[in-house]
Amino acid sequence: MGDLWYEKTEVSVNMKRIYAAWMVLANGYVIIILIDELLAYARSDLTDREKNDLVQFTFAHPLIYCKVLTLYIWKGRIKVVMERLLEGSRSIFSSMELERMSVKQFAKNCFTLTGVSYVTLSAATIEAIRLHFIEGIPVRTVVVYFPSSSQTGFFINVFRFFKEFHWYYIVAMMATMDCLALCSLITVAHKFRVLRLYFRQLRIRTLENKEQRTRKELAEEFKKDFVIGIKLHSDALWCARNVQHSMGPLYSIQVMESVALLVMCLIKLVVAERNITYLLATSAFIFCLIILTGAYMMAAGDITHEVYITHFMKEASLVGTAMFHSGWEECNPGPDVRVLVVVALQMSQVPVYMTAFGVITLSHTNFISKHYFKSLCKLMFYFGMGDLWYEKTEVSYYTKKIYEVWMIVANGFVIIILFDELLSFARTDLTEREKNDLVQFAFAHPLIYGKVVTLYIWKSRIKVVMERLLEGIPVRTEVVYFPNSSQTGFFINVLRFCKEFHWYYIVAMMATMDCLVLCSLITVGHKFRVLRLYFDELRIRTLENKEQKSTKELAEKFKKDFVVGIKLHSDALWCARNVQHSMGPLYSIQVMESVALLVMCLVKLVVAERNITYLLATSAYIFCLIVLTGSYMMVAGDITNEASLVGTAMFHSGWEECNPGPDVRVLVVVALQMSQVPVYMTAFGVITLSHTNFISDGKKPS
């Protein structure tokens, strides 16, 4: 892949020639195998499984090599960026502690990426070995034109070894490139952390020198140090911009590769044979793709977070906050220093994003986002559950009528299949297994639709809560009466397809509802976290103002800020109360459904036949129930936990530092009394959704 290191190394002419020959040999080897893979489309003896693998790998492997070409094309720029990243501002200011933390991140990310990649390869190789012993074909992880599975001989087997080794080799190339890109992103984030540390230390130095120097000397020294901070900021921005420019194509290739290959893997899971090794191999591949893309997203998101995003009320950027609190107000600055600070603060407000294709932002976007809720509401809208989004959308009269018809069709489809399931109790030809499944599904599916009915009944209240939260705040999977397993024909099979599709449809409805409820609970917990952060920062502001303002001014300022905190607390309590009131029936249905169905599943495991696929299916069902109920319990428990910590944050908000009068003390006492009331989410009004209940309930079935 060439020499990407910026420091020149003296090597002999012979060594250069040997390395040039090695580059030609290594890249020629990769390219020859890639061409051999592409030529495999001309083979007519491929099995369905080989055709699926061929499509997947002829998409993935050329894209990996595109990363190599990208690095080679931008080699000169990457060298410049590497030198500026590692040497640019280190002589001006550095922190060994932050460097050690970054090195740990390097090691963790590189080890994870490499490990996951080769675990995936190992899983694919194990599956190939299994097929070798079962079907008697040569070990095959990739599909090529030559050699085919029927060809044998010493040289054929040697070539077959190099063909298999090619995948390990190209993944090693991919891992080194991804590690380089990730380490570059982590280093950019490190520069912004160092910048924030510099401004924090600048404030400490300014306060220490305040009593030792004259105001003029203090202002001159501050100006000189602040200019150095601006240079550090300029260097960090240059590095972020040029890392994006030189390695942006790698991000684009990774995103495109992950999206396309995830779709292919999901299709393969549907159409291919199902056995445990194949499922493990494909699952490992999917997991690897998610880890690779997630690593890029999280590392790039750290840069954005360090530069711009905070968790508190969209306050100024982390760098901007560090600049603002760098101590400029302590040295009685002249107009030149104030202008310098204002310009630097304006520069720090510009967000820094890493993007793929120039439009897809790589970030760990805040999970609690308006767009996420809107997407969930849109999904529910398309499933025929009505419009739960609070913003009004102008649609034509005909569109409204068409949607009303769709609601009737979609809900009618679900209700008809539910009735068909219930009528199957009248059938006398059911097997023991069908009877067990019938009891389970005839209980579960009406309860799922009960969630839909609950949402529809409380639709107007849910809209109000959402606005307050976000703006201010014969394959048989089911047993039915008709058709039975002996009936055949075209229309019978169409009805049978609709009957099977019904389960997927109603589960999609359930998933969107559960996601909406969980996101609402998470947002309530977020409000209490924001409240705690507000009181923590109120204490910091009070301590900073203690020496600058009189006792009366300090008390008045604290009282005003504390009242704002009480309003935030009142808003969080309103949201918790109304989320419980409007979505409490969903918690109740989920708890009742989980308990009853867990008992049924355990009974089925005792009385039904035992084979690996049946045990896996039932175990997956039990696991799904536990995860669903656990999600409700854990997220609701977070609300209780976060609300219980608000009182402590209020008590330590700094009221004792401002010599408060009786009015402030009464205000604090009343607010503390309000904060002592526990906040619980409940099912049936009596079963508390909490961490403790989930752990204790989870022990009982075992």
pLDDT over threshold 90, residue 91: no
Q: Which residue has the higher pLDDT, 108 or 359?
A: 108
Q: What is the mean pLDDT of residues 336-342?
A: 85
Q: Which residue has the higher pLDDT, 351 or 473?
A: 351
Among 365, 389, 413, the domain boundary falls at 365
Res 694: pLDDT = 67
381 within domain boundaries:
yes
Helix (H) or strand (E) holding 362: strand 360-362
- Do 385 and 482 reside in the same domain of the chain? yes
Q: What is the mean pLDDT of residues 264-270?
A: 67
Nearest to 483 by CA among 466, 499, 472: 499
pLDDT, tens digit, 9 for 90 and up, residues 389-407 = 667 767 777 777 887 888 8
5 within domain boundaries:
no
* pLDDT grade for 419, boundaries at 50, 70 and 90: confident
The answer to whether the peptide bond before residue 585 is cis (omega within 30 degrees of 0) is no
pLDDT over threshold 80, residue 294: no
Counting the structural domains of the chain, the total is 2
* pLDDT grade for 311, boundaries at 50, 70 and 90: very low
Res 39: pLDDT = 92
- Do 302 and 357 reside in the same domain of the chain? yes
pLDDT over threshold 80, residue 504: no
The alpha carbon torsion through 624, 629, 632, 633 (nearest 10 deg) reads -130
- Do 295 and 436 reside in the same domain of the chain? no
- Do 48 and 171 reside in the same domain of the chain? yes
Among 365, 384, 415, the domain boundary falls at 365
566 within domain boundaries:
yes
- Do 61 and 180 reside in the same domain of the chain? yes
Q: Strand, coil or helix: what is 354?
A: strand
- Do 222 and 130 reside in the same domain of the chain? yes
pLDDT over threshold 70, residue 432: yes
Give the number of C-alpha atoms closer than 13 A to the C-alpha of residue 478, restricted to the C-beta side: 28
pLDDT over threshold 50, residue 368: no
Average pLDDT, the chain: 79
pLDDT over threshold 50, residue 225: yes
Res 228: pLDDT = 93
Res 470: pLDDT = 62
Q: Measured over all CA atoms, what is the biggest interatomic distance in the chain, rounded to whole angstroms? A: 100
pLDDT over threshold 50, residue 317: no
* DSSP track, 648-691: HHHHTSSGGGG---HHHHHHHHHHHHHHTS----EETTTEE-SH
452 within domain boundaries:
yes
- Do 628 and 652 reside in the same domain of the chain? yes
- Do 97 and 160 reside in the same domain of the chain? yes
- Do 636 and 675 reside in the same domain of the chain? yes
Q: What is the mean pLDDT of residues 453-463?
A: 70
Q: What is the mean pLDDT of residues 204-214?
A: 87
Res 684: pLDDT = 78
Dihedral of alpha carbons 547, 550, 552, 557, sign: negative
Number of Cβ atoms within 10 Å of the Cβ of 136: 8
Q: Which residue has the higher pLDDT, 62 or 673?
A: 62
* pLDDT grade for 304, boundaries at 50, 70 and 90: low
pLDDT over threshold 80, residue 272: no
Res 636: pLDDT = 87
* pLDDT grade for 230, boundaries at 50, 70 and 90: very high
3 within domain boundaries:
no
4 within domain boundaries:
no
Burial letters for 306-327: b for 16+ Cβ neighbours within 10 Å, e otherwise? bbbbeeeeeeebbbbbbbbebb
416 is in which domain, residue-wise? Answer: 371-699
CB 413 within 8 A of CB 499: no
Percent of the chain residues past pLDDT 90, beyond the cut: 7
Give the span between the Cα atoms of 67 and 49, in whole angstroms.
28
- Do 332 and 376 reside in the same domain of the chain? no
pLDDT over threshold 90, residue 28: yes
Res 34: pLDDT = 93
Res 266: pLDDT = 66
Q: Which residue has the higher pLDDT, 362 or 49?
A: 49
Q: What is the mean pLDDT of residues 584-592?
A: 79
Least confident of 60-74, 190-204, 551-565, 602-616: 602-616
- Do 423 and 488 reside in the same domain of the chain? yes
pLDDT, tens digit, 9 for 90 and up, residues 234-257 = 999 999 899 988 888 888 888 788
Helix axes 96-135, 276-307, angle to 10 degrees: 160
pLDDT, tens digit, 9 for 90 and up, residues 643-678 = 888 888 888 888 888 877 888 888 888 888 888 888
Q: Which residue has the higher pLDDT, 80 or 399?
A: 80
8 within domain boundaries:
no
- Do 267 and 356 reside in the same domain of the chain? yes
Res 47: pLDDT = 84
pLDDT over threshold 90, residue 611: no
7 within domain boundaries:
no
Give the span between the Cα atoms of 567 and 114, in whole angstroms.
50
Res 227: pLDDT = 92
Which residue stretches of 458-489 are H helix?
Answer: 459-471
Among 365, 391, 426, the domain boundary falls at 365
Res 476: pLDDT = 42
pLDDT over threshold 80, residue 273: no
The answer to whether the peptide bond before residue 147 is cis (omega within 30 degrees of 0) is yes
